[in-house]
Amino acid sequence: MNNAPIDLPHPYLLFLGDAADATFLKTGLGLRDWARDLCVAEYKCAGAAATLGLPVMHPRAAREAGAHALVLATASIGGAIRPGWIPCLVEALEAGLDIISGAHDRLSDIDSLRRVAHARGRRLIDVRTPPAGLPIASGRRRTGKRLLTVGTDCALGKKYTALALTRAFRQQGLDADFRATGQTGIMIAGSGIPIDSVVSDFVAGAAEVLSPDADPAHWDIIEGQGSLFHPSYAGVSLGLLHGSQPDILVLCHEYGRQRIVGLPDFALPPIGVAIDVTLQQARLTNPQVRCAGVSLNTSGLNAGEADAALAASAREWGLPVADPLRPGPALDSLVRACLA
């Protein structure tokens, strides 16, 4: 068992479905921002308003421009493949494109897609499929160094933070790998394990497989999932935390967010409480774990407001605080704290 690359045909045509705005384009945004060279164009249902700012092409034109696969770059509530998308997906298959999906619904379970794919010799690739034979976690300490991004809530920057830190570590000449745990990260990295699709007993074991023994100087930067403070997803977060055995935690938070998104009855914890609780849980498998700082999503602020928010938060919390998408002294300080 290893963290083997998966065979994803690229470059991609990004399918935005019937999205009205970017709220449900998490996969598309991730690919655009971190794997732009793999993205030929975007394509969407008639009347859809969302855009990633990429060239717009229908599947046949995208195939002629070099695309090898259409990626479901949008999501729906519950991870479903919506019936209204099917004609667009059929068009892609008939144009000679494979289809890659990170949805919970499986492409191969949809009769019309399966028939066309078989007739055209095309592949239906469901990324949210864990490898077979995952072990139960052993809790055994592994060689190498590990950093895990954790969060006060979902959808606030854990993947972007892990990718940004991987890039920063490599720029300093360090041996560092981004370890993907979600469908978008897997499409960016070309390997990984979709942790939210692993049977619960094996989540921590999957995290051990994802970041195996390594050279003592090697860093695995592991993409976090969910939040210990989210009533729906705390379970996957805890399993990933225990199996990752991180040496370093970076807590991710969105500036101004006070309530769990979608569950307004649940308040986000104070940053100090979030750090203390997460460290307490992490010490089960790595008693020496520490929190290096906070990744603060300031995407709703302009540059001046963001700089002020980062500085004020660092003073309040007594830790380095940076927005990973805003290079500069704050991010440099967070990187130094991770490596200290």
* The total number of structural domains that make up the chain: 2
The average pLDDT across 279-288 equals: 98
The average pLDDT across 186-208 equals: 94
Backbone angles phi, psi at 43, to 5 degrees: -150, 140
Q: Which of 48-62, 68-82, 214-228, 304-318 has the lowest mean pLDDT?
A: 68-82
Last residue of a domain, one of 97, 126, 155: 126
Q: Are residues 115 and 209 in the same domain?
A: no
User: What share of the chain in percent tops pLDDT 70?
Assistant: 98
The CATH number linked to 308 is 3.40.50.300
Mean residue pLDDT across the chain: 95
| pLDDT value for 77 | 63
The average pLDDT across 141-154 equals: 97
CA angle 259-264-268, nearest 5°? 25
CA distance 80 to 82: 6
| pLDDT value for 82 | 92
Residue-wise pLDDT for 288-305, tens only, equals 999 999 999 999 999 999
User: What share of the chain in percent tops pLDDT 90?
Assistant: 93
Q: How many CA atoms lie within 13 A of 100 on its CB side?
A: 25
CA distance 88 to 15: 9
CA distance 294 to 5: 30
Categorize the per-residue pLDDT at 2 as very low, low, confident or very high, splitting at 50, 70 and 90. Answer: low
Q: Is the pLDDT of residue 3 over 60?
A: no
| pLDDT value for 79 | 73
Q: Are residues 200 and 302 in the same domain?
A: yes
309 in any annotated domain = yes
CA distance 11 to 195: 25
- Domain enclosing residue 47, as ranges: 12-126
138 in any annotated domain = no
Backbone angles phi, psi at 162, to 5 degrees: -65, -40
Residue 127: alpha-carbon gap to chain centroid = 13
Q: Which amino acid is at 46?
A: A
Cβ proximity of 99 and 122 under 8 Å: yes
Q: Is the pLDDT of residue 165 over 60?
A: yes
> What's the start-to-end Cα distance of the chain, in Å?
32
Residue-wise pLDDT for 238-259, tens only, equals 999 999 999 999 999 999 999 9
Q: Is the pLDDT of residue 21 over 90?
A: no
CA distance 51 to 62: 16
2 in any annotated domain = no
Q: Report helix angle 234-244 to 271-282, nearest 10.
A: 50
Q: Which amino acid is at 65?
A: A
Q: Are residues 99 and 207 in the same domain?
A: no
- Which single residue is written with the structure tokens 């006060």? 152
| DSSP, residue by residue, 126-151 | ES--PPTTPPPP-----SSEEEEEEE
Q: Are residues 173 and 316 in the same domain?
A: yes
Q: Are residues 202 and 319 in the same domain?
A: yes
